[in-house]
């Protein structure tokens, strides 16, 4: 109603108002403005109202960082998230879940893509440390996280997701890679398969090794001797997965089922099966869900991870730590879910039942 000056036109470059400007306009001291802005008690109703009006008039926005400098708890109300890539669908869903929890707590999230580069991991941590984040959620890439201990000692919590950290004892939230792989293989064995191929991700990735172990142990428990010819490791993209799958399927004794241990590898396997016209004859179960995996024919069965839950649990751990939880480090394992859609339920051909 009562506008300060008649000038309502666009100012060229306005200085950002500070608490002092608001104080001056409201005719009070800065500390009183501070009290009103932060909802502290002991301010009379009409002083508060005058301050609020002045703040609104100047469109005042407090400077969170300036406040933190002096504030007792020194919280930046910001956390950092390190993932393989924010564009990776799995990581993106984890990110969304974390963001949801963060927003509830009034926190903002810095997300950084590491692209599996250990050096990027350290650089990202340093960049976030300079920005004084209150906590980290990290997908470990580096083979040793002990360099992070100094941050823990200074009271900045860290939670690892997807992979277990090495060299530090912190909370972690990971998928049940080993059990999930066993579930997949057990499912295929239950449909009569004995020649089950394994398409593995890069062996240097911990989760890939766990999935391979699950595959081998489940075969062993089923009394099946693994055929080394059917085990291919270190696949990381769909093109090489396609090539390898084609080769396996044209062996003299081809597999009757395939367990592919990762997203893109599953896509590559599907493509190979389609190219050879074998998609209805050879069973396939993938680890990790495939986008639009229910549009393909046959629809693709998978052992699905739960990125939403992983993200939520990880965020809850971080905020518990920020909130002062000093308990021992927790290892949380999120189970996988077998999604039955068709490709994994293709039975071993009758022709072969007699053989072997």
27 binds, among its own copies, DNA, none (CB under 5 to 8 A by kind): DNA
**What whole-number distance in Å separates Cα of residue 336 and Cα of residue 75?**
36
**Cα distances (Å, whole numbers) of residue 334 to 3, 32, 163, 169, 276:** 58, 49, 12, 19, 36
Instruction: Identify residues 267-306 at the interface with its own copies (CB under 8 A).
Output: 267, 270-271, 274, 290-297
Considering the rule CB under 7 A, would residue 47 count as an interface residue with DNA?
yes
User: In 10 A of CB 327, how many CB atoms?
Assistant: 8
At 22 the three-state DSSP class reads helix
CB of 287 to its own copies, least distance (A): 16
Instruction: Identify residues 150-169 at the interface with its own copies (CB under 8 A).
Output: 150, 153-155
**What whole-number distance in Å separates Cα of residue 150 and Cα of residue 167?**
12
Closer of 55 and 160 to DNA (Cβ): 55
**What whole-number distance in Å separates Cα of residue 161 and Cα of residue 95?**
11
CB of 162 to its own copies, least distance (A): 16
Considering the rule CB under 7 A, would residue 18 count as an interface residue with DNA?
yes
Q: Which of 34-42, 151-159, 194-202, 243-251 is the region at the interface with DNA (rule: CB under 7 A)?
A: 34-42
CA angle 283, 284, 290 (to 5 degrees): 150
Residue 275 backbone dihedrals phi, psi, to 5 degrees = -60, -35
Considering the rule CB under 8 A, would residue 142 count as an interface residue with its own copies?
no
Instruction: Identify residues 48-87 at the interface with DNA (CB under 7 A).
Output: 48, 61-63, 66-67, 69-72
CB of 163 to its own copies, least distance (A): 21
Torsion of CA 326, 327, 329, 333, to 10 degrees: -120
Q: Which residues bind its own copies (CB under 8 A)?
A: 10-16, 59, 61-66, 68-69, 76, 78, 85-89, 92-93, 95-96, 99, 108-113, 126-132, 149-150, 153-155, 267, 270-271, 274, 290-297
């Amino acid at each position: 109603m009562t506008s300060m000056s008649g000038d309502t036109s666009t100012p060229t470059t306005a200085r950002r108002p500070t608490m002092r400007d608001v104080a001056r306009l409201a005719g009070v001291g800065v500390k009183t403005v501070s009290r009103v802005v932060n909802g502290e008690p002991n301010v009379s109703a009409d002083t508060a109202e005058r301050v609020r009006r002045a703040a609104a008039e100047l469109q005042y926005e407090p400077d969170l960082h300036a406040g933190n400098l002096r504030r007792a708890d020194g919280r930046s109300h910001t956390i950092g998230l390190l993932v393989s890539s924010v564009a990776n669908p799995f990581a993106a869903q984890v990110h969304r879940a974390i963001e949801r929890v963060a927003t509830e707590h009034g926190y903002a999230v810095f997300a950084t893509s590491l692209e599996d580069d250990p050096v990027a991991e350290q650089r990202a941590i340093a960049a976030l440390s300079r920005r004084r984040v209150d906590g980290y959620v990290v997908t470990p890439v580096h083979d040793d996280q002990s360099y992070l201990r100094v941050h823990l000692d200074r009271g900045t919590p860290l939670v690892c997701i997807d992979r277990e950290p090495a060299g530090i004892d912190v909370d972690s939230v990971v998928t049940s890679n080993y059990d999930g792989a066993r579930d997949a293989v057990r499912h295929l064995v239950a449909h009569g398969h004995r020649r089950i191929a394994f398409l593995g991700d890069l062996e240097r990735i911990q989760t890939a090794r766990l999935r391979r172990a699950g595959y081998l142990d489940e075969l062993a428990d089923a009394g099946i001797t693994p055929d080394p010819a059917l085990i291919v490791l270190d696949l990381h993209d769909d093109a090489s997965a396609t090539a390898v799958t084609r080769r396996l399927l044209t062996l003299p004794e081809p597999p009757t089922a395939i367990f592919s241990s990762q997203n893109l590898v599953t896509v590559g396997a599907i493509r190979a099966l389609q190219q050879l016209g074998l998609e209805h004859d050879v069973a396939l179960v993938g680890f990790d869900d495939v986008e639009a995996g229910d549009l393909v024919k046959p629809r693709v069965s998978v052992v699905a991870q739960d990125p939403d839950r992983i993200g939520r649990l990880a965020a809850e751990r971080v905020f518990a730590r920020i909130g002062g939880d000093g308990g021992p480090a927790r290892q949380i394992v999120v189970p996988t879910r077998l999604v039955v859609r068709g490709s994994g339920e293709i039975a071993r051909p009758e022709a072969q039942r007699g053989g072997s």
